Structure 1
Amino acid sequence: SVDSVSYSVADDLQTATGTLADTLRNIPSVEVDPEGNVSLRGDPGVTILVDGRPSGLFSGENRGQVILQIPADQYARVEVMTNPSAAYRPDGGGGVINLISKPNRPAAQPTTTGSVRANVGNDDRWNVGVSGIMNRDKLTLTGDLNLRHDTFTQQADRVRTRIDPVSGQTVEQRNTQNGDGSNDNVFVRFSADYRPTDRLQLYGDLYHVDVASDGLMRDVFEADAVGGGIASGYNRVSDGGFEGQFSGATARIVRNMGEQGHDWTNEIRYNRGRGVYGHDTVVDLIPAAPTGYERVDNRNDNDTISVSSAYVRPFASGALTPDPLVSNAFHVDQTVHALYATYERPFGEKLSAQFGLRLEQADLELDQVTTGITSSNDYFRAYPTFHLSYQMTPEQTLRGSYSRRVQRPQPADLNPFLTYQDPLNYRAGNPDLEPQETDSFELSWQRRVQQTFYGATLYYRDTAKAFTPVITDIGNGVLLTRPENLG
């Protein structure tokens, strides 16, 4: 396609045995950090789709945990769109990564096939999987079951230098973190594809994922005093982790209008996510104070129902007492109405172009139930796109593109409630935070010689209202981090 670059991973050994994070790390321009955060050319504002559609697995604040643990062998290709067309939502300044599932086509003769996979690695790492496909005339049934266990170690060292507001002297703060733990994953999927005629497809699927991560973390912090010595610090030992359950169902009807690419698709999707991150921590403070105990629980619940209709026609143990000082309820209601159109046509034998425009009306309602703070924000935006492809020779292609992207704040970025991080760090959202917008320009050259691929890309991005964490000293050495639109 003129607006994307596709990478086949069906025959990749890393895909057959590894996680989605392992596969994405092998894709040019894509990075995945140790916490599962995905970035495209250094920009973390990446939208991840499955077969061109949103998935509850890859949305919300628990996405990184899923990417680190979900098996990758169900995907055949990875499409990278740094300047997506108007057919895609403009969310995410980095672009779109589209995961293409392995196809299930009805067989000419009734067939039943299956496979069993098992892999063992060092440091107590293993995974097993079972897959099966049954074809009966016009019906195809597919099932997958995967189990995975991984272990991990982490090490981080940070040094922060600040100017004391009273004396004007420079003082240093040091933080060392290390830990180890394990990840466990269970993935189950079932799909049915029924094609009563050559022009009609009825499709449905169900999936469920359980992810669990448990570990022991050690955290040492020291802040120098003006004139020498240690002014404050702590030694924290935390035991905890993450547990998540993600489920979803899809029902789809696709009607072909008689020519390739001329389809009418109607779909309803339901995604449900439940994630809990918590830890028990013992804290020893400097100056000396009684040993403290902390219990922190962060819960993220997400239920999404999506209905879409797309017409495409080519023209060419123990009791715990919640602490009300650090517990809060925050409701976010965001509605986005969108209308888009794309037009693609060739200009001669070597040149082709695609034009697109997407119009969106967003309505946002915020309700900080605990503090009684409410806010609203309504805005209308237009997102144009343009793609140009020139076939220089049979082996060489030159491409140019432009798109306007938007990165909307996450609920945590909007919640004004003070969130406890550790004794010397708090975080709060900003209910007045506006979406970050990016104008993206790109020019690329590609050449393929037999099995060797060469490519070079020149790109420029202009971002307005960029999300910037602003750190403020709120007294007694406690720092508050809050996002602002400073770019």
Structure 2
Amino acid sequence: MKSKYSIFILFFCIYSMSVQSASKGGNMITGVVLEKETHTPIEYVGICVYLAKTDKFVTGTVSNANGKFTIQSLPDDMYYCVLSYIGYEKQKSASFTVNESQNIINLGNFYLITSSQQLNEVVVQGRRSTYTQGIDKKIFNVGQDLMSSSGSLSDLLQNIPSVQVDVEGNVSLRGNENVQILINGKQSTMMNARTRAEVLQQLPAGDIERIEIITNPSAQYKPDGVSGILNIVMKKQRKVGVNGNVMANIGNEGRYNVTTSINYNTGKINLYGSYGIRLDRRDRITLDDRIKNDSVLSYISQHTDSKAHPLSHVIRAGIDWNFDSSNTLQLSGAYNHRGFLREENTLTTNRDDAEIITYNANRYRHDDEKTNQAEGNAVYTHLFGDNNELSVDYSYSILEGLEDNQYTTNIYSTTSETKDNSQIWQAYYQHLFRVTYNRTFNDKIKLTMGYEMDALQTDLNYHFQNLENGVFVPDMQKTNDFTNNQLNNAIYATLEYKVGKFGMLMGLRPELMNIKSHLFSLDSIVSNNYFMVYPTLHTAYQLNDNNELQLNYSLRVNRPEADDMNPFPEYQNPLSLRAGNPYLLPEKIHSIEAGYQWRKSATTILGTLYYRYTADKLTTVTKYLDNSILLTTKENLNSSQSAGLELIINTDIKKWMNINLSGNVYYDQINAEKLGYGKNKNNIAWSSALNANFNIFKGAMLQLNSRYTSSSLLPQGKREGAFITNLGAKYEIPSTNLSIMGTVSDLFNTFKKIYTIDTPQLKQRIEQWRNPRIFYIGIIWNFGSSQHNDKQNLKYDESL
């Protein structure tokens, strides 16, 4: 009871501080940015302030979700503003003066016009991924990155600084796979740990508008994920009338994909929709060599050759309805169907200590998977009073999938054959409800308060049958059903305060978590309920026009998902089982970051020092069940800590080249004493990435992406380094709305995943690689009422 009263007092103090500080003044300018034809707000428009007499840059900011911007603490003088945004013509304000008698200037509404409307030109957008730094996030506007034209979302993420993607599609942020991925700022059943990698490799990158990297999220976000949040923001056209595009690509090994989108905007109502189909080829080879060192030595070698042809259909649709200047309703929905046909052969060879073959068999797998995912979302926003906003948000998401496996095992030594089948049913049902209140008191104070309810049910059912006398008979020893329910109730508050060159965003998020796992086969229920308060603090100080410092802290959590807690094993490979642990504890992470940003003209340098301490760290552990069967499961370590330095450099070389170079070096230390693997194991790891765009001649661009990740530490061994290089080219055909492009993934055929286990009882090396070099050639066609072709000149739009 005392803790509840304490939370109430803290929230009251935050609100009181905001009210008391609201009366303080200072020189400031405000304004609102709208799309000219539709009068809808535009977010992330760059606003730069210049001295009217010398044209010297003074300061800048970006517009918020309502199109509003505020710049404060301007010295007495005469200024003008320049507004810029990708796809829209730059706009310059009239000159204005701020002084003691005119210390608050409202510049009114700015109406941006699309570049093609005003100049009758084709605007080649997104020659590079435009970078924007906020107090609590980094934003990468995708533009028309070549991977966004032909590749999947997984391919696109490889081009984002700080992000790594391995050969299986698993995503890491600063070397850590415990990252939370949101779609339009919300959780989705698509992004659960079991299916996320597959979904990312099938979603079309052409549907993505921008990617937000939030390594130390504020209290407004759920605190899940060790390394932070990746927020995937989907495209939504704003142009008036009917507009759209079609992207079509054909690749080697039978690959193809087509994505089309269209919107109709009257100004008051915006209707939009898209459809994408993608046929991929997913071939994988896995080598698994292990040595068991028990009373006697034994050797096991497995060679797996897997071929798959995933086919996906993705449909999105929605409506934005502006009733009036104060009330907006947004309705949206999406449907994703994936079919996945896989054929796999696993050759197993066992040898004794004299290296004489004792077992030799091939296990054939025919897997017909089908997954259906759908979600709906409704958001109502009401503006009232002076700078008050209330929004109510509800979304429902569902994912259901069936994996139908048919196995045939041929044992060569005895010429015998066995058959068995398995059906794995997975289902996720999620309700998300949020109420958020925003109040902007003045140019210095902004308050956000809200409530969030997140309810998730996960069903994992494994059913097995063995062929006996020509009939498949249920295997009740392996068959099991598992359901996990998680209910999270949270309230949150953030207070943003700006004065002079200093900015601060502090927040508090109390959460009550209820978890219940039902093990039906064992007639057992495992519960875990806990209450936690997650504080956050973000500060920024602008040294001068070009230099800024940041210091951030957050307390985060990494909660085990249902798949991590399901104790019943899968039997895909009889010698390598995987199972969860229902008694896992959540990780608690203390995260601190100190950042420095230097920006001048077209060059930005961002350096970040970070430190993370993790209690009850989750890890994967592999151990023997008997003489030959390995079980991989999850356990809690004592703790871990890591510290690193990340550096990102983005610059233009004249008008023909843009380079984005990033690097990350970090120190890892883990305490696995309670698992018997040592108290202080440590390692230094690093990664680097290069994204370069070359404007060869008018309308033609060449793009090179390369990434290297060094080896990293595991409790029982290490993960080897990985290297990949991608190449692409694009040409805008003059006097048309057509573009042609081509891409090559893994140019040097080096992309692999290798990890080793080295313990007294087990030495294992697993190496996996995909089919080499993926080629695509394609075409992009833009159409709509805002397109003009009477005088077209190619223009590079590299503004923020």
Q: TM-score, with normalisation over the residues of structure 2? A: 0.57
Q: Distance between the aligned counterparts of 1:53 and 1:37, measured in 2?
A: 20
Residues 319, 74 of structure 1: alpha-carbon distance in 2 compared, 3 angstrom cutoff: farther
Counterpart of 1:113 in 2: which secondary structure? Answer: strand
Structure 2 residues not aligned, in runs of 5+:
1-133, 447-469, 639-800
Q: Distance in 1 between matches of 2:200 and 2:623?
A: 33
State the 1:194 CA deviation.
Answer: 0.4
The farther-off stretch of 333-342 and 446-455 is: 446-455
Partner of 1:18: 151
Does the alignment pair 1:453 with 2:604?
yes
For 1:8-407, list aligned pairs within 5 A.
8-59=141-192, 61-105=194-238, 107=240, 111-164=241-294, 166-167=295-296, 169=297, 171-232=298-359, 234-257=361-384, 262-285=388-411, 288=414, 290-314=416-440, 315-316=445-446, 321-349=473-501, 351-407=502-558
CA–CA distance in structure 2, aligned partners of residues 287 and 29 of structure 1? 50
Runs of 4+ in 1 over 6 A off after TM superposition: none
Q: Given the superposition, is the C-alpha separation of residues 251 and 106 from structure 1 closer, same or farther in structure 2, using an over 3 Å criterion?
A: farther
Structure 2 counterpart of 1:411: 562
Taking a change above 3 Å as real, the CA distance of residues 334 and 159 of structure 1, as seen in their structure-2 partners, is: same
Would the aligned equivalents of 2:409 and 2:419 in 1 still touch at CA under 8 Å?
Answer: yes
Q: How far did 1:373 drift?
A: 1.6
- Give the counterpart letter for 1:279 in structure 2: N
Q: In 2, are the aligned partners of 1:106 and 1:140 still within 8 Å (CA)?
A: no
Question: In the alignment, is the contact (CA less than 8 A) between 1:65 and 1:211 conserved in 2?
Answer: no
In the alignment, the residues of structure 2 paired with residue 198 and residue 106 of structure 1 have an alpha-carbon distance, to the nearest angstrom, of: 19
Contact in 2 for aligned 1:270/1:305 (Cα 8 Å): yes
In structure 2, what is the Cα distance between the partners aligned to 1:20 and 1:259? 40
* Superposition deviation, residue 239 in structure 1: 2.3
> Is the 2:219–2:494 Cα contact (8 Å) retained in structure 1?
yes
89-98 vs 290-299, greater mean Cα deviation: 290-299
Q: CA deviation at 1:287?
A: 5.5
Residue 60 (structure 1) shift: 5.0
1:382 deviates by: 1.6
Counterpart amino acid of 2:199? V
* 8 Å CA contact retained: 2:576, 2:629: yes
Return the letter of the residue paired with 2:556.
R
Report deviation, 1:233.
Answer: 5.0
Contact kept, 8 Å, 2:594 with 2:609, in 1: the verdict is: yes
Deviations 1:186-210 (A, max 9, x none): 1111101100111211110111011
Q: Distance in 2 between matches of 1:481 and 1:76?
A: 38
CA distance in 1, matches of 2:600, 2:357: 62
CA deviation after TM superposition for structure 1 residue 475, in Å: 2.2
Between the aligned partners of 1:431 and 1:250, the Cα distance in structure 2 is 32
Task: Answer whether contact 1:387 1:399 (CA < 8 A) is retained.
Answer: yes
Structure of higher CA gyration radius: 2
Contact 1:106 1:139 in 2 (8 A): no
Aligned residues: 478
Letter of the aligned partner of 2:525 in structure 1?
T
Partner of 1:482: 633
SS at match of 2:261: strand
CA distance in 1, matches of 2:213, 2:236: 19
CA contact (8 A) 1:470 1:483 kept: yes
SS in 1 for 2:432: strand
Counterpart AA for 1:486: L
How much does 1:20 deviate? 0.8
Aligned partner of residue 123 in structure 1, secondary structure: helix
Change in CA separation of 1:217 and 1:447 when aligned onto 2, cut-off 3 Å: farther
2:405–2:421 CA contact under 8 A, matched in 1: yes
Alignment partners' CA distance in 2, 1:161 and 1:400 = 48
* Paired residues of 1:172 and 1:224 also in contact (CA < 8 A): yes
Distance, in Å, in 2 between the alignment partners of 1:345 and 1:388 is 9
Mapped to 2, the partners of 1:450 and 1:292 lie a distance apart of: 69
Map Cα deviations across residues 151-172 of structure 1 (whole Å, 9 max, x no partner).
Answer: 13212223333321x24x5x44
For the structure 1 residues 358 and 291, does the alpha-carbon distance in structure 2 shift closer, same or farther, using more than 3 Å as the test? same
Shift of residue 62, structure 1, vs aligned partner = 1.5
Separation in structure 2 between the aligned mates of residue 222 and residue 27 of structure 1, nearest angstrom: 42
- The change in CA–CA distance for 1:230 and 1:404 in structure 2 (over 3 A counts) is farther
**Structure 2 CA distance for partners of 1:157 and 1:187, relative to 1, 3 Å:** same
Q: CA contact under 8 A between 2:566 and 2:582: conserved in structure 1?
A: yes
Q: Which runs of 5+ in 1 are unaligned?
A: none
3-state DSSP of counterpart to 1:69: coil
Q: Give the superposition deviation at 1:142.
A: 0.4
Inter-partner Cα distance in structure 2 for 1:319 and 1:253: 57
CA distance in 2 between counterparts of 1:211 and 1:431 reads 30
Partners of 1:435 and 1:276 lie apart in 2 by 29
Find the aligned partners of 2:360 and 2:494 in 1 and give their Cα distance. 57
State the structure with bigger RCO (CA 8 A, min sep 6), 1 or 2: 2
Distance 1:137 1:388, change over 3 A: closer
CA gap 1:133/1:337 in 2 versus in 1, 3 angstroms: same
Report the Cα distance in structure 2 between the residues aligned to 1:143 and 1:319, rounded to whole angstroms. Answer: 49
AA aligned opposite 2:476 = P
Secondary structure in structure 2 of the residue aligned to 1:227: coil
- Which one-letter code corresponds to 1:372 in the other structure? D
- SS state at 2:530 partner: strand
What do residues 402-449 of structure 1 show as CA deviations (whole Å, max 9, x unaligned)? 212211111122122243242223333222111112111222333344
**8 Å Cα contact 1:277-1:299 kept in structure 2:** yes
In structure 1, what is the equivalent of residue 101 of structure 2? none
CA RMSD for the aligned pairs?
2.2
Identity of paired residues, percent?
A: 31
For residues 603 and 253 of structure 2, the distance between their equivalents in structure 1, rounded to whole angstroms, comes to 35
Question: Per-residue CA shift, 1:223-264, capped at 9, x if unaligned?
Answer: 43123323445422222243211111111101123556x421
CA contact (8 A) 1:421 1:427 kept: no
**Compared CA separation, residues 319 and 207, structure 1 to 2 (3 A):** farther
Q: What secondary structure sits across from 1:197 in the alignment?
A: coil
- Structure 2 Cα separation of the partners of residues 9 and 135 of structure 1: 23
